[in-house]
Structure 1
C-alpha cells in the first residue's frame, strides 16, 4: 500500500499520519490542445502565439458546481465537491461535508489564471476568497470542510486547522486572487493579512533550520518538508510562497523558498538510465501521480532565485521520467526500497489513473518550454495531454468541450468514472489553460 497525504474521498484533501491514510479520488482531466495562446517575450512565447489553434474552454460545469452560501453569517462562494453521473447531482460526504477550502482555492487559481477576468468571474473570485478567509482559524491555519447548513467541520481529520494541504492551497489560492482583486478592496486587505499570518506559521513550524536526511526503506529523504518528507505538499507551499515573496520581498519568505526547493531536490531518485528516471518522490520512499508538482515548483523557484540547480533537477524529471511514462504506460503509484545496495520498485500500481496526476506534468512541461524554448517540452506536454483527449486505457475523451465536464478518472482498462467533481473539473481546466500557453499565477 502506498503512502498518501490526501485523505479518502473524491477530491484531494490530505492528512499524513506516517501510514497510509487512503486517497480521496475525484479525478481531473483536460483536452489535448494542439496549439497555445499568445505571449510576448521569449522565443517559446512567440511560438505559442503563432502556432495557436482555437479550442473551446467552457466553465459551464464549473458554474454548475459553484454556489453562494453563508459561513459565519458572511456571504461566500463555494464549489460542490461531488457531481455524480448521469444527471450530475450533488452529494455530501458524511464525515467531511459538501464544500472545502482545497477545491475552492484551486478554483480561485483557475479564475485568476484567465487571460482577462470579466465582472462575473471577478465576483465569483471575490466570493470564493471570502469563503477561504472565513475558514481561517485563530491559530492562522485553515479548516477545510463545511456542512450543508454552513457550519465549519472543525473535528474530522481532513478538516482540522493545521499545517496540511488545505492550508497550503489556501495560501496559493489567496495569493493568486490578490493579483486580480481590487487592491484597496476589503477582500484583498483581508487576504493580505491572512496570507502574511499563514506564512509566519510556516516559518515557525517547518524544520528548515534543523535539516537532515533520514532513512525510509533504504532511501535517504529530507526531514524538513511538510510531514517530514512531503515533497508533494511542499510543492504546493512553494507555489504559494513564490507570489507571496514577489508581493512582500520578505527575506524570510525567500529563505523558506530556498530551503523547500533544496528539500525537493533531495527527493529526486534515478537518472537517465536508472528507474525512476529522475522522478521526485512524493513522501518518504513513495511516489504517486496526484499532486506531484515538484518539477513545476522547482522551475518557478529556480527562475525566481536564479538557482540553476533547481531548474536542472526539474528538467531531469521532465526529460527522463515523463517519456518513460508515455512509452510504458501511466502509473498511479510505486514505492522504492534498497536491499543490499540495490534499489528496486515495489507495489507498482497502474490504477486509478487520474488527471490530477496528469495536470501537474502538463503544467511543468509547458513551463519548461516557456523557460527554455525547447520544443520537445511542448511536445511532451501535448503527448501527456493526449491521455486526456482519449489516448488512454479507457479509450475515451475525459474532457467534454460542450459542457466543460472533466471525468473523474480511469479505474481499470476500458473503465472510466463518469462522475465529474470539483477537483476533476478545475484540474482539467488548469491543464487546458497551460496547454494554451497561459501561466498559472
Structure 2
C-alpha cells in the first residue's frame, strides 16, 4: 500500500475526468465527486477537470458546466458511448467513484462496459468494500479491480479487505481519507443562536435516512439523557434515502416520529427533512456539541458524515462500525455497542458531565482532522494521478479501429412497447389482433397475461423512472387478471371480451405459465403490493403442478420456482417440489431420448426450448449436475434441428411439428419458438459462460429481424408489434399478443444478459 507524501509540487497539466453521481443529485457520492473534483481543480489550476455524470432519472439534472457527458444509469449503450467520448477527448486520467447501487446492471456491471473500452489510466475510489459480497458483487468487484490501474481505499480496514478477500496486491492500493471542508474551530454559541438553540446542548445526526442508520436507538436513549440534562435537543438532519422513499415512502421517518412521541421526547427532537446545501450544513455542524452515529452494522468502510463532524472538532458517540473504529481510536471519541440505547445515553451523559473532557476530545478531533481537509486530499490524489500516468502504458488506438461491423453491436431496434399498450385495456392484454388492431372477439387468456406480466417485471428492471411508472401501470392490469383467473388452486384461462369465463379450469400449461409469472413477480417486482400478491398466488397454485403430466407445465413451474427461490431460498417445501419436478423431466428424458433424438417426447412441438431452460437453471441453482447436463445436451440437439442449411434459425413449424421418425414441418414458423430458444441459450451462457450460447441467441434474434427463410422482418418497427408467423410464401400480418410478447421478451432477455455480464452479445 502506498504511503502518500502530501507535500508535493503541483502535478503537471492534465485532462482529468471524474465518473460518478454529481450534484444536484442528492446522494453522498454526488457530493463527494463534486467536492473532490473542485478541490483538484483548485490545487492544479493548469489541469482541465470535468465530470461524466450518471443519471438515475429521465431528463437528468441541471448540472453545472463541469459536466461534459451524461450516462443513463440503466442503458449499457450509454456507458459505451461515454467510453468513446473519453477516448476521443484524450483524457489523461479517469477517476471512477464506485458504490454498489449507482451503476446499472447486476451489481453495477454496466460500469464494466465502459472500463472495457477506455484507453486512459483508471483510478477507482471504492466507497464500499464488502467483506461478504454475493456472487454478482464479487464478480463485478474483481473485474473492476482488474481494470483499474490503482484503487483508493479510504480506511485501513478497506485496504485489509481488498488484500485478504479480493487478493489485491498492496502496491495497487492507495489509502486516502474521505475529504472534509476546512471549517474553523469555532465556539458553538453563535450558530446555536441562529437556530434558537441558545443555552441548549445539541446532539446531531446527519445523512440520508434509512433503517441502517439506527436512529431509533438514539431516540430511545433520550429519556435517560434528558432526565439528567433537560437542556438537550436532538437534531436529525436529512431527507429519506431516495431508494427507500421510492419503495416505502416516509414509513421509517414516521416510525421515528411516533417513537419520539411515545417516549415523551417530541419537544426535544427536531427532524429537518431536507437535503441541505454545503453552506447550510456548516451552520448545523457549527451548532453541534455531540455527533451521534448509531449505525446497526459494522460493515461501513467509509462515512462521509462521520468524517465531516469529526474533522470539524465535534465529540462523537458512535457504534463500532469499521470507519468509526479507526477514526475514533486513541480516545478521539466514544464507541458504544450496536443496538444499545442505554450505552448511547451513558456515553452522551459522560461528555455532558465533563466539560473539560468534552473540550479536549473536540480539540483532539479537530487537530486530527486537518489531514482530511479537501486541499490535502486533493494533493494526495494529484500525486497518485502523476504516479499512475508515469506507469501506465497502453497500445495506441486509432479512433475508429473498433467501429467495424464485426466489433460494434449489430442493430437492435429501440425499445418500443406501443403495441403492447395498444393491446391492453383495464381487464388485461387481449389475445389476438387484426393486423395491428386488437381483436375484441377473441377476448383474453391467462397465457398472454402471464407473459405480459413477466415482461413488465423485466422492463422495470431495465428501464428508468418513466419506464418503471408506465410498466407498473400495465403490470397492475395483468396481475389483477391473473388473480381473478385463480379459482381456488387452479387458474382459468380464457375470458370473453364481456368478462365471462369460457372455461372452469385452464390447461396445465396455462396454469404453470401463470405460476411462472407469479414466481417472477416474487423475485423481480419492485412494487411491494404486487410482490405480496404474487407470493400469495404462487403459494396457492404451485402444489397442484406436481399432479400434472405435461413436461412443459413442469418446465414452466420450475422456471417460476427458481425465480421464487431467489427471494425465499430457505423455503424447503418449494425446494422439494423443484427436486421432484426436475426428476420428472429427467425421467421423461431417460425414457424417450435415443441416439439422434435427444428429447423429452416423441414430438417436438411448441415452446420447446423452455424445457431445456428449466433444467439448465434448476441444475445450476441446485447443483444438480445431471439436470444441467441434460438441459445443455437437449438444447444442443434442439439447436441442431432448428437450423437452415445457410445457418439461420429455422424453428420447427407448427403445421405438423416434428414427430420422431417423420419429416420435420418447416412452416408455419412461430415467434414463440425464437423467444424460447433465445432465453434458453442465455440461461446456458449464465451456467457455462460458453460464448457459443451468446452466438446462438444472437442468430436466433436475427430471425425476427429478417434473417429467416423468406428474408423478411417479423418485427414491425412502425407499431412495435410482431407478426404472428412465417408461412411458406408470406408473413401472417396479424400482430397478436403471443408473438409481440415473444419478441419483446427476447429483446429484454438480451438486454438483461448485457446488464448482468456487460458483454457484447453481438460479438460473434
Instruction: Determine which of 461, 470, 473 is the counterpart of 1:123.
Output: 473
Question: For each residue in 1:335-372, what CA deviation from the matched residue of structure 2 results, as whole angstroms up to 9, or x when unmatched?
Answer: 22xxxxxxxx2253222111101111111112222222
After superposition, residues 230-309 of structure 1 pair within 5 angstroms as 230-248=550-568, 249-268=570-589, 274-276=595-597, 278=598, 280-281=599-600, 284-309=601-626
**Correspondences of 1:129-144 after superposition (within 5 Å):** 129-137=479-487, 139-144=488-493
Shift of 1:162: 5.2
Aligned with 2:449 (options 95, 101, 104) = 104
Equivalent residue number for residue 431 of structure 1: 746
Contact 1:326 1:384 in 2 (8 A): no
Match of 2:418 among 52, 56, 60: 60
Cα distance in 1 for partners of 2:109, 2:470 equals: 34
Q: Which has the larger radius of gyration?
A: 2
Q: Which range moves more in the overlay, 105-114 or 387-396?
A: 387-396
Q: TM-score, normalised by structure 2?
A: 0.42
Assess if the C-alpha contact under 8 Å between 2:671 and 2:725 holds in 1.
yes
Residue of structure 1 aligned with 2:431, choices 81, 93, 96: 81
8 A contact 2:681–2:693 mirrored in 1? yes
In structure 2, stretches of 5+ residues that fail to align are 1-76, 80-103, 117-407, 757-764
TM-score scaled to structure 1, two decimals?
0.71
Q: CA deviation at 1:41?
A: 6.9
Cα distance change, pair 335–266 in 1 and its aligned pair in 2 (3 A): farther
Greater helix percent: which structure? 2
* Contact 1:42-1:370 within 8 A present in 2 as well: no
Structure 1 regions of 5+ residues with no counterpart? 1-34, 70-77, 155-159, 207-225, 337-344
CA distance in 2, matches of 1:36, 1:166: 38
Q: Is the 8 A contact 2:457 2:520 kept in 1?
A: yes
Asked if the contact 2:642–2:651 (Cα under 8 Å) also holds between the matched residues in 1, the reply is yes
Provide the secondary structure at the position in 2 that maps to 1:302: helix
Match of 1:197 among 522, 526, 540: 540
Provide the rounded CA distance (Å) in 1 between the counterparts of 2:580 and 2:111: 30
Deviation at 1:406, TM superposition (A): 0.5
Q: Does 1:382 align with 2:704?
A: no
Q: CA deviation at 1:307?
A: 1.0
- Residue in 2 aligned with 1:313? 630
Q: In structure 2, what is the equivalent of residue 168 of structure 1?
A: 512
In structure 2, the CA distance between the partners of 1:200 and 1:261, relative to structure 1 (3 Å rule), is closer
CA contact (8 A) 2:432 2:735 kept: yes
Contact 1:291–1:356, Cα closer than 8 Å, also in 2: no
Q: Which residue does the alignment assign to 1:361?
A: 677
Contact 2:651-2:674 at 8 Å conserved across structures: no
* Conserved 8 A contact 1:126-1:181: no
Question: Residue 148 of structure 1 is aligned with which of 476, 481, 497?
Answer: 497
Deviations 1:287-342 (A, max 9, x none): 11435401211121112201122221122133343134224454222122xxxxxx
* Structure 1 contact 79–103 (Cα < 8 Å) conserved: yes
Farther off after superposition, 192-201 or 316-325: 316-325
Match of 2:667 in 1: 351
The worse-fitting range, judged by mean Cα deviation, of 311-320 and 104-113 is 311-320
Deviation of 1:408 (Å): 0.3
CA distance 1:193–1:330, change in 2 (3 Å): closer
Residue aligned with 2:735, SS:
coil
Q: CA deviation at 1:201?
A: 2.8
Instruction: Determine helix, strand or coil for the equivalent of 2:425.
Output: strand
Q: Do the aligned partners of 2:420 and 2:741 also contact (CA within 8 Å) in 1? A: yes
| Structure with more of its chain in strand, by fraction | 1
The Cα of 1:48 is off from its aligned counterpart by 11
Kindly state the Cα deviation for residue 141 of structure 1 after the two structures are TM-superposed.
0.6
CA contact (8 A) 1:113 1:440 kept: no
Secondary structure of the residue aligned to 1:67 is: coil
Runs of 4+ in 1 over 4 A off after TM superposition: 35-54, 438-441
Aligned residues: 348
SS at match of 1:346: coil
Distance 1:267 1:36, change over 3 A: farther
Q: CA deviation at 1:427?
A: 0.9
Aligned partners of 2:724 and 2:732 also within 8 Å: yes
How far the C-alpha of 1:98 sits from its partner, in A, is 0.6
Deviation of the 1:47 alpha carbon: 7.3
Paired with 2:505 and 2:446, the residues of 1 have a C-alpha distance of 11
1:42 Cα deviation (Å)? 12
How many angstroms does 1:419 deviate by? Answer: 0.6
Alpha-carbon distance in 1 for matches of 2:110, 2:437: 42
Measure, in 1, the Cα distance between the counterparts of 2:702 and 2:426.
35
Higher relative contact order (CA 8 A, sep 6+): 1
